[in-house]
């Protein structure tokens, strides 16, 4: 009986210790400052809309035509 109570107290102490450690790690992760503008990865909101130029449109058209021709030849077997 004493061993069971001792094990339960020990288990509670381990859980309490791990919980406080995890909360400290989460708090530290939220306090990370951002890098200077020239040293950070751009985010989606940082990048303006990408405009397609005529070379991209021409290449897409060539790719689509080639894909149509290959679908007639290869049946993905």
Highest mean pLDDT out of 30-34, 63-67, 72-76: 63-67
Output the pTM of the full model. 0.31
Q: Is 66 a member of any domain? A: no
Q: Is the pLDDT of residue 22 over 70?
A: no
How many domains, in total, are found in the chain?
Answer: 1
Q: Is 55 a member of any domain? A: no
11 with 17: CB under 8 angstroms? Answer: no
**Per-chain mean pLDDT for the chain:** 78
Q: Which domain holds residue 6?
A: 1-31
- Phi and psi of 75, rounded to 5°? -105, 25
Average the pLDDT over 37-48 and give the result. Answer: 76
Q: Measure the CA–CA gap between 51 and 59, rounded to whole angstroms.
A: 15
The pLDDT, as a whole number, for residue 3 is 82
The pLDDT, as a whole number, for residue 65 is 92
The pLDDT, as a whole number, for residue 23 is 64
The structure tokens listed for 57 are: 């449109």
Give burial (CB, 10 Å; 0-12/13-18/19+) of 20. exposed
């Amino acid at each position: 009986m004493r061993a069971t109570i001792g094990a339960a107290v020990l288990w509670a102490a381990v859980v309490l210790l791990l919980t406080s450690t995890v909360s400290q790690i989460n708090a530290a992760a939220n306090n990370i400052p951002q890098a200077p503008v020239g040293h950070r990865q751009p985010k989606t909101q940082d990048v303006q809309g990408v405009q397609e130029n005529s070379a991209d449109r021409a290449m897409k058209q060539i790719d689509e035509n080639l894909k149509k021709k290959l679908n007639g030849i290869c049946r993905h077997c």
